Structure 1
Amino acid sequence: MLSFQNLTLGYDRHPAVHHLSATIETGDFVALVGPNGAGKSTLMKAILGHIEPMEGRIELGDLNRDDIAYLPQASRVDRSFPLTVFQFAASGLWQTRGLIQRVNRADRQRVTDALSRVGLHGFEHRTLDALSGGQFQRLLFARKLVQNGRLLLLDEPFSGVDEQTTEDLMAVLQAQHRQGATIVAVIHNINLVRRYFPTSLLLSRELIAFGKTDEVLTTHHLNRASTIGFGDHVHADICQVSES
């Protein structure tokens, strides 16, 4: 479904990801792991077509951009815009319906079902600024369910939310995976990756390891990821996470 061929990405001629080659197959459930500044969000942007490769290429197989559902970091979404929970979730239809086409009865049911699945039934008329951080993260997931993409890209989907919200939303992701979605998620919680993600891609500006999670998230690989291109100042942090 998704292939990186000798891919180098960066900004203003300064590479952030170097010579990445890897293939994500249809139906994979992948955690994208690495230190801060490792190039994970940059890779997401490149898959979405927001930045062009400096070298190499990204191949999407039989996908087009409308097949990709992207969940950004919650902190990057403007919650001051005057939308209700229902309207925001329904914006997941825009990619296939356009901005001016009216929402029909089937669409409304689709949105209602998505809100119920993430635990927001009864919140339809609340505004975005009335939601807690965890509730807003659930809403972001609901919008992705409405969009129903074949490839789900999630950038730190559990950042700043409590354990119960994380568990609930992981169940939503697992259900999407069982229904055939391919999922790639930037995850910082190594223990969460080990519990739920069968496949991991460990990135530290270059590919450290890619494959079965228990073979990728070894102490050796995590130690290497913490020092390549960053120096010893991040070494203690990632090692502490890896051993916790």
Structure 2
Amino acid sequence: MSAVTIRNLTLGYDRHPAVHHLDGRIEAGAMLAVVGPNGAGKSTLLKGLAGAISPLSGAVEMTRSDRHAIAYLPQAAEIDRSFPITVFELVAMGLWRRTGLFGGLSKADRQAIEQALAAVGLTGFEARTIGTLSGGQLQRMLFARLLVQDARLILLDEPFTAIDAKTCADLLDLVRRWNSEQRTVVAVLHDMETVRQAFPQSLLLARRAIAWGPTDEVLTPENLLAARRMTEAFDDHAGICTEAA
């Protein structure tokens, strides 16, 4: 995985920007937390990095091979838990780039899925439908899907929200393992204590970057106050952004 360069990036919906003129560089192997008030554009930024939405202007620059080595975990609320699919089947979806949507699973694929479920503590849950899982079990399953993807860039949107402390600790250990393997992790987080303990780099976002760098230099009271004020000042009904960088 090479570095990801963000150049004058503006992202939004219906041409109304949610992230404005962002510049920065995510080094290979980085552990970057994206923090900021509600409505700051954090989830939008992750979708832009994942390629789920296209820039209104600017660019996310990475190699073609790196674009095919991204694993993206959306917020748990975006998962349709009424869909009739088993835990095993959903985790297997992490292999679709290699097997195709309708490709069969090899013995090695099945072993990889079983190992991923064991790594997150869900051995024995293979045949359970996802609608029967607790919040913590659902998140463990989604992390298992990330494991089988074996990606070099991992994007996590609020991965520790509304789960029990044991699950949070277990999944944070997995994130640290990815870091030890020199994978790049970018995570939207709300718990500042988790950010300070586990993420050496932080981006404080309020639709614009307030600060980006070492976590202890970013998460100052002054910066956090500036982020809150800037987010409150934005008009969601403002026109299309035309400001130059």
Give yes or no for TM over 0.5. yes
Contact conserved, 1:66 with 1:96, CA < 8 A, in 2?
no
Equivalent residue number for residue 239 of structure 1: none
Q: Quote the offset at 1:231 in angstroms.
A: 4.3
Matched, 1:33 2:55: no
Q: Quote the offset at 1:13 in angstroms.
A: 2.8
1 CA distance for matches of 2:86 and 2:192?
Answer: 34
Deviations 1:13-57 (A, max 9, x none): 322111110000100011010111101111111112222222211
Equivalent residue number for residue 237 of structure 2: none
1:1-244 aligned at under 5 Å gives the runs 1-61=3-63, 63-231=65-233
Deviations 1:192-226 (A, max 9, x none): 10111111111101001111111111111111111
2 CA distance for matches of 1:136 and 1:210?
Answer: 32
Which residue identity is paired with 2:129? T
Instruction: Decide whether aligned partners of structure 1 residues 230 and 63 sit closer, same or farther in structure 2, where only a CA change above 3 A counts.
Output: farther
1 CA distance for matches of 2:158 and 2:218?
Answer: 19
2 CA distance for matches of 1:169 and 1:57?
Answer: 31
TM (norm. structure 1) is 0.91
Which residue identity is paired with 2:10? T
Q: Which deviates further from its counterpart, 134-143 or 52-61?
A: 52-61
Q: Which deviates further from its counterpart, 96-105 or 147-156?
A: 96-105
2 CA distance for matches of 1:2 and 1:92?
Answer: 23
1 CA distance for matches of 2:62 and 2:199?
Answer: 22
Q: Which deviates further from its counterpart, 167-176 or 46-55?
A: 46-55
Superposition RMSD on alpha carbons, in Å?
Answer: 1.4
Aligned length: 232
Which residue identity is paired with 2:120? V
Which residue identity is paired with 1:20? L
2 CA distance for matches of 1:217 and 1:62?
Answer: 33
Contact conserved, 2:37 with 2:231, CA < 8 A, in 1?
no
Unaligned regions of 5+ residues in structure 2, if any? 235-245
Q: Quote the offset at 1:83 in angstroms.
A: 1.5
2 CA distance for matches of 1:10 and 1:85?
Answer: 33
TM (norm. structure 2) is 0.91
Q: Quote the offset at 1:62 in angstroms.
A: 5.2
Q: What percentage of aligned pairs have identical amino acids?
A: 53
SS in 2 for 1:35: coil
1 CA distance for matches of 2:159 and 2:185?
Answer: 12
2 CA distance for matches of 1:88 and 1:64?
Answer: 24
